[in-house]
Amino acid sequence: MGDIILAANAVLFNMVTLMAYALEGLAGASQAMVGRAVGAGSKADYRGAVRYATLWAVGFATAFAGTYAVTGDLIVNAMTSMPDVRAAAYAVLPWMVAAPVISVWSYQFDGIFIGATRSGEMRNAMIVSLLIYLIATEAFRPMLGNHGIWLGFTVFMIARGVTLAYYYPRIERSISAG
């Protein structure tokens, strides 16, 4: 798709990375709290840990979405001075606004599943999500260009959240009634 699109996507991916660090940090907190609750066999503590960590994660995701909506162009401008790259990045900036509120669920579930030591389900969910991503990106990119790439990424994050949500009830069922 050319150097300009590549450079614009590199700028935008820095925004994704910044958001991911914050959401992954909260997923780390989920890991610790969920791990403690599962290890203790306490369903009540597990539910509390999931609720508490999820509220914080959703709050951070909302803050990132709002920040990107209001200052996304300024962030792009801080990362590049090239007018063509800026224009290409501005064109797909709405995907950055949507990314935190869509991605938060996959990061949050990652923390929960790691804390509950459910790597098998995570692996299975990731395999399915990867296949969905590859199909989506190959289908959308030719029709939508760079928007198709970002749509494919968004579909991947949705697939991660949905596939992990499918396995999620198994964790709670495996915990004692305590």
Higher-pLDDT residue of 1 and 26 is: 26
The percent of residues in the chain predicted with pLDDT above 70, rounded, is: 99
pLDDT of residue 82: 95
- Reported confidence tier of residue 175, pLDDT bands at 50, 70, 90: confident
pLDDT exceeds cutoff 70 at 177? no
What is the arithmetic mean of pLDDT over 22-42?
90
CB 27 within 8 A of CB 34: no
Q: What per-residue confidence (pLDDT) applies to 178? A: 54
Q: Count the domains in the chain.
A: 1
Look up the domain containing 155 and give its range.
Answer: 3-174
Confidence of residue 10 (pLDDT cuts 50, 70, 90): very high
Say what the pLDDT of residue 36 is: 93
Q: Which residue, among 108, 116, 109, has the nearest Cα to 41 in the 3D structure?
A: 116
Q: Tokens at residue 140, please?
A: 């959308």
Name the H helices within 41-82.
43-79
Tell me the residue length of the chain: 178
- When pLDDT is averaged across residues 137-165 and rounded to a whole number, the result is 95
Helices 83-115 and 43-79: crossing angle in degrees, nearest 10, is: 170
